Amino acid sequence: MGERKKALADYETALRLDPSNENAASGRRAMIAEIAKFGSEPLRAMNAASGNAASFDCATATREVEKVICADPQLGVLDRQIAETYERVLRAATARLAADLRKNQRDFLTTRNASFGRPGYDLKKVMKDRLQRLDAMAS
């Protein structure tokens, strides 16, 4: 549900109660990795109308690609992950690298918006590729 700090605390409580609980130990490890990757702040509340966690307000979406992202929960999560990872990389970047990263993100969005709907265009693949590139920059 995006409440990473609370989830980690719950796993730690479960382990205090039962130190041999493998599910809690595994969940704790996964949550620590997720916090390292995305931070501990909760996701912005999902858009109530669409049940989507997109990084933008789905109620004001005007582009067709945005409407599709809002209509598909998997795409909404990918969009949120791209936005969070981009922000994390941007915060850690030098001034010169930050300027290049901003331009790169604008180019990605411009290309995504212009290419969406063309035959053979795979929005999910494009978004997964973008997330993978941002993840590589974050490492």
The confidence score (pLDDT) of residue 48 equals 38
- Whole-model pTM: value is 0.63
Quick one: 104 exposed, middle or buried, by C-beta within 10 A (0-12, 13-18, 19+)? Answer: middle
In this prediction, residue 43 carries a pLDDT of 47
User: How far apart are the C-alpha atoms of 52 and 29, rounded to whole Å?
Assistant: 26
pLDDT of residue 39: 64
Question: Mean pLDDT of residues grouped by 10 in the chain (139 residues)?
Answer: 76 90 85 68 45 82 93 92 93 91 96 95 96 91
Q: How far is CA 65 from CA 6, 104, 120, 137, in A?
A: 33, 19, 15, 25
At residue 136, the pLDDT reads 93
| Phi, psi (degrees; rounded to nearest 5) at 18 | -145, 85
